[in-house]
Amino acid sequence: MKLGEQIKKYRASLGLSQDALAEKVFVSRQSISNWENGKTYPDIGSLLLLSETFSVSLDTLIKGDIDTMKKEINAQEYAHFQKTSAIFTLLFIALLITPVPLILLLKWWGAGIYAVLAGVGIYYAYQVEKHKKQHDVQTYREIVAFTEGKDLSDIEKAREAGKRPYQKLLLAVGSALAAVAIAALMMKLFS
């Protein structure tokens, strides 16, 4: 049985309207309607309040919907990872391109703007790394598998773990060389 059907069944058995249930779990009536129609899923806090209101265990309430909820959570995590990665990528490109023009054109103000940009870039880099460690995805192949919702076999995971030190070294050296090349190009353009 789906969670929406469970909510509707228990709500009806208690003789509660959607408005009355919404008041008990501190959400809007529209949220109750969306849950019952399977358009959205309640968050964990709302699930706990629902199970308490219906006097049933959380397990009984969500029985049969666990796989669906896992997929929903994975989709939300993936969307968050994609958004954070996109922001980080844009900031990284900006950090490579903007230092020379900012400092040459705006002097100390430019350096301040660049420092703020670098701080925001570091924050997003930390968020991306935190997400990668949480899901144990470090190499390109692991990231691609994660974004496709797949898992690597144990052998593939071991191979990828063996590649990590080399890939990190190559990434660091490549980034440094790219930064030097872009800075040299910018110096030439702005001198």
For the domain bounded by 3-64, which CATH number is listed?
Answer: 1.10.260.40
Statement: residue 72 has pLDDT above 70: no
Report residue 6 as tokens.
């469970």
Whole-number pLDDT of residue 1: 46
The H or E element that residue 36 is part of is helix 29-36
- CA-closest candidate to residue 84, choices 121, 48, 117, 114: 121
Reported pTM: 0.49
The mean pLDDT of 119-128, rounded to a whole number, is: 91
Statement: residue 76 has pLDDT above 90: no
Question: Over the chain, what is the mean pLDDT?
Answer: 82
The mean pLDDT of 124-148, rounded to a whole number, is: 74
Rounded to whole angstroms, the Cα distance separating 54 from 111 reads 59
Statement: residue 6 has pLDDT above 50: yes
Whole-number pLDDT of residue 183: 78
Statement: residue 162 has pLDDT above 70: yes
Rounded to whole angstroms, the Cα distance separating 52 from 46 reads 10
Q: Which residue has the higher pLDDT, 149 or 56?
A: 56
Whole-number pLDDT of residue 149: 67
Residue-wise DSSP of 71-97: HHHHHHHHHHHHHHHHHHHHHHHHHHH
